């Protein structure tokens, strides 16, 4: 995403909300709610149950034509529709960490701190104010002397985005963030601050998805004539960064002794043997699972080569000879890389990180039902 596209205000999708009050034969007042769209932009609708004073009671799951929502509808409460922005996305704000994001589809957790909840748990402050205003309008409609249809014009809200001066009643807008991606596991579209997060729908971390993007970029670069030696450094750097993200989450979410927490917090992931040993001992995660001993040896050698490129100008030193197991070179020799070796290194790194990612989600399971539904549709 271009930097000028970040943090732009995105207007409401528009439409008209109807509050239709009628009397039945017994004189009781009945109310129904509707949402009509007439603007040529993407839109989607969600809903919450709300009432006066208590405000939001919970999420109202819209099930399609002819359905009124959940069977266990809270009472007394009103169905309040919440329209998306003009890109078809809904804004959310975590009550625990305070961070904001946008998404399509279901919401079950904060992408930043992993707090669990339904859509109603993550309304923005502006959305909460909007819900209060809608509930007040419903109450006014029910107190009116005669039955009538009352309209809330959200088109006026949509037209007010970017304009100075006082905003119309019921106004709320959303804001574009930095990283936009479809979750590989469940397909949900996320727009988040930063880069490494949980999918807000299924709870799957996107770190593996990001590593695959990084490795694909590295492969493409060397295929086009880029330096193979630099690619080795970049591959280890990507692995180190992504390991730090997942291990950081483990440190936050798994009870640890102070010494283990301090050791893991200061750890770098440039040493394959130490990384594998620590993750196995502390979290029972085997990052080398399924790898042949020859693949582990090759990966260890490439990690050592990264150190030579970064700290010794590519020239073999005694530390490399002692730690790499590489008998094909001699002291002071300048290392050179074959393109195929870099591709093989990327493949092994991907498998190692897949093991870490799988082990993480053995501890913190994502929504398997949502993931399975996505796979059936794909």
Tell me if 188 is assigned to some domain: yes
Considering the domain architecture, whether residues 279 and 363 belong to the same structural domain is answered as: yes
Considering the domain architecture, whether residues 113 and 214 belong to the same structural domain is answered as: no
Among 192, 219, 234, the domain boundary falls at: 192
Considering the domain architecture, whether residues 28 and 129 belong to the same structural domain is answered as: yes
pLDDT at 6: 87
Tell me if 202 is assigned to some domain: no
Q: Which residue has the tokens 């042949």?
A: 292
Considering the domain architecture, whether residues 138 and 239 belong to the same structural domain is answered as: no
Domain count, the chain: 2
Q: Which residue has the tokens 């946008």?
A: 102
pTM over 0.85: yes
Tell me if 42 is assigned to some domain: yes
Among 192, 217, 234, the domain boundary falls at: 192
Considering the domain architecture, whether residues 182 and 231 belong to the same structural domain is answered as: no
Considering the domain architecture, whether residues 91 and 233 belong to the same structural domain is answered as: no
Considering the domain architecture, whether residues 225 and 150 belong to the same structural domain is answered as: no
Considering the domain architecture, whether residues 63 and 90 belong to the same structural domain is answered as: yes
The answer to whether 363 and 256 are in contact (CB under 8 A) is no
Tell me if 197 is assigned to some domain: no
Tell me if 353 is assigned to some domain: yes
Domain interval for residue 63? 3-192
Burial of 48 (0-12, 13-18, 19+ CB in 10 A): buried
Considering the domain architecture, whether residues 153 and 85 belong to the same structural domain is answered as: yes
Tell me if 198 is assigned to some domain: no
Among 135, 164, 192, the domain boundary falls at: 192
Considering the domain architecture, whether residues 134 and 40 belong to the same structural domain is answered as: yes
Considering the domain architecture, whether residues 123 and 257 belong to the same structural domain is answered as: no
Edge-first strand order for the sheet with 55-60 is: 55-60, 45-51, 78-83
Tell me if 173 is assigned to some domain: yes
pLDDT one digit per residue (tens) for the chain, 378 residues: 677 688 999 999 999 999 999 988 888 888 999 999 989 999 999 999 998 886 788 898 887 655 554 555 555 589 999 999 999 999 999 999 999 999 998 899 999 999 999 999 999 999 999 999 999 999 999 988 888 999 999 999 999 988 888 899 999 999 999 999 999 999 999 999 999 999 999 999 999 999 999 999 999 999 999 999 999 999 999 999 999 999 999 999 999 999 999 999 999 998 899 999 999 999 999 999 999 999 999 999 999 999 999 999 999 999 999 999 999 999 999 999 999 999 999 999 999 999 999 999 999 999 999 999 999 998
Considering the domain architecture, whether residues 147 and 211 belong to the same structural domain is answered as: no
């Amino acid at each position: 995403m271009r930097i000028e596209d970040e943090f732009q205000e995105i207007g409401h999708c528009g439409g008209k909300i109807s509050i239709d009050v009628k009397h039945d034969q017994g004189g009781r007042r009945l109310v129904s709610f509707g949402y009509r769209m007439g603007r040529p932009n993407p839109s989607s609708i969600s809903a919450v149950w709300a009432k006066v004073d208590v405000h939001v009671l919970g999420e109202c799951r819209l099930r399609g034509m002819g359905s009124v929502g959940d069977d266990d509808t809270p009472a007394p409460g009103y169905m309040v529709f919440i329209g998306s922005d003009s890109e078809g996305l809904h804004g959310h704000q975590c009550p625990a960490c305070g961070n904001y994001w946008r998404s399509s589809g279901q919401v079950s957790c904060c992408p930043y701190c992993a707090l669990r909840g339904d859509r109603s748990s993550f309304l923005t402050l502006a959305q909460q104010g909007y819900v209060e205003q809608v509930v007040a309008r419903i109450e006014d409609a029910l107190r009116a002397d005669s039955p009538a249809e009352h309209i809330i014009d959200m088109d006026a809200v949509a037209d007010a985005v970017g304009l100075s001066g006082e905003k119309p009643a019921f106004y709320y807008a959303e804001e574009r963030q930095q990283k936009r991606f479809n979750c590989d596991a469940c397909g949900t579209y996320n727009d988040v601050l930063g880069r490494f997060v949980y999918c807000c729908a299924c709870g799957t971390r996107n770190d593996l998805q990001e590593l695959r993007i990084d490795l694909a970029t590295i492969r493409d670069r060397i295929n086009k004539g880029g330096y193979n030696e630099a690619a080795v450094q970049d591959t280890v750097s990507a692995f180190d960064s992504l390991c730090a993200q997942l291990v950081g989450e483990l440190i936050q979410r798994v009870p640890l002794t102070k010494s283990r927490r301090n050791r893991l917090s200061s750890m770098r992931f440039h040493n394959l043997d130490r990384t594998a040993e620590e993750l196995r001992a502390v979290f029972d995660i085997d990052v080398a699972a399924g790898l042949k001993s020859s693949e582990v040896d090759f990966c260890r050698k490439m990690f050592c080569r990264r150190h030579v490129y970064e700290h010794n100008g590519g020239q073999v030193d005694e530390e490399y000879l002692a730690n790499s197991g590489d008998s094909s070179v001699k002291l002071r020799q300048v290392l050179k890389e074959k393109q195929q070796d870099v591709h093989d290194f990327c493949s092994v790194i991907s498998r190692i990180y897949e093991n870490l990612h799988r082990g993480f989600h053995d501890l913190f399971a994502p929504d398997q039902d949502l993931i399975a539904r996505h796979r059936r549709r794909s």
